[in-house]
Amino acid sequence: MPSAAERTPPVYLDHNASAPLRPEATAAMQATLEITGNPSSIHGHGRRARTVIDDARDAVAALAGVPPAWVVFTGGGSDANALALTGLGTGPRLCSAVEHDSVLRWVPEAGHLPVDPAGRLDLDALSAALEAAPAPGLMSLMRANNETGVLQPVADAAARARAAGWWTHCDAVQTPGRLWPFDFGALGVDLMTLSAHKLGGPAGVGALIVADGVTLAPHVRGGGQERGRRAGTENLVGIAGFGAAAQAVVTEGPAETERLRSLRDRLEAGLLEAGPDAVVHGSGAERLPNTICLGHPTQGADMLLMRLDLAGVSVSSGSACSSGKVTPSHVLRAMGLDETAARRALRFSLGWSTTDADIDRTITVWRAIAA
């Protein structure tokens, strides 16, 4: 006999880990499966495959507001971060203490800059670190935190880095489709990371936006693909899906940002009404309109996740890349939470597939858990 959760359509609120594949991406990938040929080949089959990549590059460039030549396709967001962090020589590196692990593990512990209790970079600490370290170096700062949704002062930080003779990289994988406008130029950075599966494309493909005048040494060497910046035959099917998802995000425009904000605010109000002692981490800062990091006053995240899952609601307790770890969130610890509080946080993240019914169902389930 199926349970009530099994009879009710499941609710997926873990878009910051991976968004469901958009139908536009599915269609583009299915069509590309019929294409034979290496995009680097000059015969007709190869040219047809190259056209798919060129079209996708145009779509991703339009999403970021940059020339297509600035788009370097990679094997995902972590791969793009690695290219950015290793491709500019051996100078010093700085990043915030709340970056994704794919950035933190490339930067020495001494280069991890503090954040305030709301999770925003301490700009004074950045200025002091820039002054103390020799130029040129690379400063990496995410646009939005994957666990709390807190937006970072990237434009201000990039201006300080540029004045000190440093490059700036921005991990922006959580931003497209959630924050409008999404504009590379407005941030004043030199490098920006994107990931297809965060916006409704397939996993295993991403992009690094490389501004004009920035010369990168490839970390994957071999052929001359991607203008010599990343070797290896391109993931044709994945890139096609990435391009289709990027085009869908551009088509949705600012209306999607407002839709997500409305859903998020209604969910947040419902969660806090059912459990008034809970707290929203990062609520003192500007956040993505799709993310809630909820701290429970007494229950551990593992127990809460299990109860939500049994009721058919999928959320997470932090970065999906850190699932299975016994250590508490490094993001919340950097924000000043003690270890116990950091273990009691849940992340609800909405996206293109989230509906009003999903929000209603989640609030109902949470009320039952709180009761």
Catalytically annotated residues: 321
CA distances from 316 to 7, 15, 340, 344, 346 (A): 22, 10, 17, 11, 6
How far CA 9 is from CA of 23, 278, 349, 354, in Å, comes to 19, 27, 18, 12
Q: What are the tokens at 228?
A: 């010599």
Compute the distance between CA of residue 225 and CA of residue 165 in angstroms, rounded to an integer.
Answer: 30
> Residue with structure tokens 């996708």?
56
Grouping H, G, I as helix, E, B as strand and the rest as coil, residue 301 is helix
Residues 6+ apart with CB under 8 A from 213: none
Cis, bond preceding 254 (omega within 30 deg of 0)? no
CA distance 206 to 214: 19
Q: Report strand pairing: 138-140 vs 93-96.
A: parallel
